[in-house]
Amino acid sequence: MRVTVKLFATFRDGRFKVEEKNLSEDSRVLDVLQLLNILPEEVAICLVNGRDVKEQHLLNDGDTIALFPPVGGG
Amino acid sequence: MTIEGRYVRNKKTLTDEDQHKLANSCVAIVGCGGLGGYIAEELARIGVGRLVLIDGDRLEVSNLNRQIMATELNIGQWKVEAARDRLRSVNSEVKVEIIKEWFKEEKGPEMFREVDLVFDALDSLATRVELERVCHRLKLPLVFASIAGWFGQIGVSLPGDFSVSRLFGNGERGVESTWGNPAFTPAVLASLSVAEGVKLLAGRMPALRRAWLQVDLLTMEFERFEINNT
């Protein structure tokens, strides 16, 4: 299946802004994180099609995943 | 000192009625660093009547790159004192109260006794979540902003929204610990915060309720995301 991965803020550093990825069926958000060399604890928010999900969330063909690192400074 | 014409350039963005509402408002700024300093500066200039500044830290050399209240002459001074001194010369009509302590959940009701609106300009993810909880309990609107490197997030949390706990509920520190905070990012995010805060004080609808604006000053992209209650 094909999904669109969007990265934000520092996740773009050395990676990309938006890319399409081919994944095997039954892939989860966690598999995308592994593919991108991002640890689950580095993620503050993960949206799939605009909805807040956890890393175990099962993906579907055509999903858009948006990943945000924690931005906490003041 | 009352100066005739001080607010003339606030018109017609602000009506006389809006200006009157601001003058009769009390706003708390939690955290008086990069974000909080600019927020205090802008609220004083626009004419908010009372400010409560909360920060338990003193100015240090590494603050000079971005904190508007920091100068080479006041290193070592309490941040809230430095802010009060500067604001006095910017707008002496504004009453500035200072609290030289760190925000803690149990101190919230005392700190916010006469407050109408709270700004979250903190630098700890966990304390941001505590602050939202207190604001909800006290039925106070909250404008939150955060920064790291080229990036920032800003939104509004009204009682019951829990936007902050959704955004900042995971982890201890953000990527600012490795990416730092350059001068331009707090200035931009503080200005966006004040724009939302002024709407709330004037009784208008904020634009970023149940949402946040993701700010990227590297690509100059500003993208809005909804916070769904699921």
Predicted local distance difference test score (pLDDT) of residue B101:
98
Query: Per-residue b/e over A38-66, b at no fewer than 16 CB within 10 Å?
Result: beeebbbbbbbeeebbebebebeeebebb
**Phi/psi of residue B20, each to 5°?**
-65, -40
Residue of A8, A17, A73 with shortest CB distance to B123: A73
Task: Spell out, as residue ranges, where chain B has pLDDT lower than 50.
Answer: none
Q: Which helix or strand (DSSP H or E) is residue A4 part of?
A: strand A2-7
SS3 B164: helix
Q: What is the pLDDT of residues A3-57, one digit of tens each?
A: 999 999 999 999 999 999 999 999 999 999 999 999 999 999 999 999 999 999 9
Q: Which two tokens stand for residue A73?
A: 């400074």
The confidence score (pLDDT) of residue B171 equals 73
Residues with Cβ < 8 Å from B53, sequence gap 6 or more? B28, B29, B32, B36, B40, B80, B83, B84, B96, B97, B98, B99
Edge to edge, what strands does the sheet with A45-48 contain? A18-22, A2-7, A64-68, A45-48, A51-52
Cβ within 8 Å, pair B34-A50: no
Of B120, B179, B228, the CB nearest to A51: B228
| Domains of chain A from N-terminus onward | 2-68 (3.10.20.30)
Give the SS3 label for residue B61: helix
- What is the CATH architecture assignment of B8-226? 3-Layer(aba) Sandwich (3.40)
Here the tokens at position B138 are 């006290």
The ipTM, to two decimals, is 0.95
Q: Position B92: which residue type?
A: S
> Is the minimum CB–CB distance between B35 and chain A shorter than 8 Å?
yes
Q: How many CB pairs under 8 A join A and B?
A: 91
- Position B229 scores a pLDDT of 63
Tell me how far apart the alpha carbons of residues B213 and B158 are, in angstroms, rounded to a whole number: 16
Q: Where are the domains of chain B?
A: 8-226
Q: Within an 8 Å CB–CB cutoff, is residue A70 touching chain B? A: yes
- Beta-bridge partners for A48: A51, A65
Instruction: List CB contacts (< 8 A) between B225 and chain A.
Output: 47, 50, 66
pLDDT of residue B230: 53
